[in-house]
A = this chain, B = another copy of it.
């Protein structure tokens, strides 16, 4: 009637019923014979419909026993495909994280299907739709623009319907609280960075934070609250905040240059920086402005990217565990594929002491 062949209609109805949870955990689906009566079709048609569901990995057929709904995630035939959506492949510490994911997956006979969202929700959406098509068995996602609600919530929910486990990494969408995440302790990191500087004798702290991702928002919150708790002066004015689009020309923009001038004018003596990639151009710009580093300004940043050891002064930084982090994400995903319930987890930063934030001589 609807132009659609019967077997697809039947498949769709069953698919929906499975998604709605009418069938219990690993329980038996109605018998082919019963479905035949229910839908008034031949057994062949029923079988064709069920073949669709089997293709989607929603059911398991066992001869002599029955057809079982797979509410636990599916057991593919040996090879698992894990989709990986990262913001960027080259930026920051992504390569190391990816390497950790890849190694762990390969050790468990799984492969990684990698795509980059460029931190763009629209691209994220189209990639997710593509990956769904590509039959991945699980998905690890570095959320993009996580400070705001995602327009792609429906995609993530559709994955859940299909029993495809999802894990957020580094950044997650607050509203999708049924999806587990593995993140860094960004709030704690923000606190730690501020406290370290204060304990080393720095008196007036500034901060540079990217604010369209949860990471930056949380680091900024930790920074702010640490200062308040320590009874240090703080005003929103001492923060330079920016979004992803601005990152390339931040320090050539009006707002960025103005901030650099204030740093050069010694309005502050300490700086917490969103990450090493931003710390590096700050250092360069300040040296060009004749600022003595680290004497005039102590800097602590995040990540421990390769560049942090090569800067002059070498950056004191809170190290991201990178490969270990990626491996952990992969482990969680593999466990989810085994049917286990994984909770949220946050990993701790490790302070790497270099030259950019020495203990301040009291002056």
**Could you list which residues of chain A lie within 8 angstroms of chain B, going by C-beta atoms?**
77-79, 81, 88-90, 94-96, 98-99, 102-103, 106, 109, 111-116, 127, 130-131, 133-134, 306-307, 310-312
Residue from B94, B96, B98, B307 within 8 A of A306 (CB atoms): B307
> What are the residues of chain B within 8 A of A134 when measuring CB–CB?
79, 81, 111
Interface centre among A79, A96, A103, A114 (most CB of B within 10 A): A114
Shortest beta-carbon distance from A99 to chain B in Å: 4
Q: Are A95 and B103 in contact (CB under 8 A)?
A: no
Bound Cα distance from A114 to B97, whole angstroms? 13
Assess the A102–B89 pair: CB atoms within 8 A.
yes
Within 8 Å CB of A306, what residues of B? 306-307
For A116, list chain B residues within 8 Å (CB): 99, 102-103, 106
Residue of B nearest to A84 (CB): B114
Tell whether, in the assembled complex, residue A115 and residue B115 are in contact, meaning their CB atoms are under 8 Å apart: no
Closest 8 CB pairs of A and B: A310-B310, A90-B95, A95-B95, A89-B99, A114-B114, A90-B99, A79-B133, A79-B134
In the bound complex, residues from chain B placing their C-beta under 8 Å from that of A312 are: 312
8 further A-B contacts with Cβ under 8 Å, apart from A89-B95, A89-B99, A106-B116, are A90-B95, A90-B96, A90-B98, A90-B99, A98-B114, A106-B130, A112-B113, A113-B114
**Is the beta-carbon distance between A109 and B130 smaller than 8 angstroms?**
yes
